[in-house]
Amino acid sequence: MADTAIQIGELSRRTGCNIETIRYYERIGLMPAPPRRGRYRSYGAGDVGRLGFVRRARELGFTLDEVRALLGLAAGGEASCAEVRVLASAHLGDVRARIADLKRMERVLADSVRACDAGQDPGCPLIDALYAEPRLPPTGC
């Protein structure tokens, strides 16, 4: 309601989003090009909301394309909740897959570090593990 026109620095402070990133979002069309006061970009409350939305979606790991889609659906009202659900649960699948990947890495790394600490191997356990063939045993033709 009030004339809450702010500059890019203030928008950055309020959203925690880097100034360069804000301009980048404008360049790629994720944020609208705001009106100018002189040469300076002039933002309003709506921009603070939108950018906050983007930032929080990014924190949940959505790609910028997904964020773009979410922004579109957010404008669409209740009807789009089902579509949001589809997007979110697909992304949830991605996140879970990445967690599974990382846990596999974690296990191998933790094992190697533990073997290192035990210090019974002749060589370095991690280096040896990295040099070992994953499938073929060392013997055989």
Partner DNA sequence: GATACGATCTGTAGCGACTACAGACTCAAG
Partner DNA sequence: CTTGAGTCTGTAGTCGCTACAGATCGTATC
Q: Which residues bind DNA (CB under 7 A)?
A: 7-10, 12, 18-21, 23-24, 36, 38-41, 58, 63-65
Which of 9, 40, 45, 74 binds a second copy (CB under 8 A)? It is 74
Residue burial 67-92, b: 16+ Cβ < 10 Å; e: rest: bbbbbebeeeeeebeeeeeebeeebe
Residue burial 118-129, b: 16+ Cβ < 10 Å; e: rest: eeeeeeebbeee
Taking contact as CB under 8 A, which single stretch among the options 4-12, 19-27, 30-38, 58-66 is the one that binds a second copy? 58-66
Taking contact as CB under 8 A, which single stretch among the options 1-9, 19-27, 32-40, 96-104 is the one that binds a second copy? 96-104
d(CA 125, CA 112): 6
Of 87 and 115, nearer to DNA (C-beta) is 87
Q: How many residues bind a second copy (CB under 8 A)?
A: 45
Does 134 participate in binding a second copy (rule CB under 8 A)? Answer: yes
